[in-house]
Amino acid sequence: MFSPPGSIPRSSAIKRAICQSITLRSGALLERLGFEREGLARDYLMINGRWEDHVLTARINPAI
């Protein structure tokens, strides 16, 4: 799918980040950067032999 010339694709307007639910400092940093929590992905990724939950966040660029 192509965008019209001069337009900015929607993917440029939204930035997403994912962090482990237990890493409070990462979550605090994302919040300070303007990211908002969108949900929780349970058992999202296996780390050191354990399935870990991750917080889903996004930041929308209001200028677009």
Helices (H) and strands (E) in the chain, counts: 2, 3
Model-level pTM?
Answer: 0.68
| Long-range Cβ contact pairs of 21-29 (< 8 A, separation 24 or more) | 21/52, 21/53, 21/54, 21/55, 22/52, 22/53, 27/55, 27/57
Per-residue pLDDT tens for 39-49?
999 999 999 99
3: pLDDT confidence band, cut at 50, 70 and 90?
A: very low
**Cα dihedral: 42, 47, 49, 50 (round 10):** -30
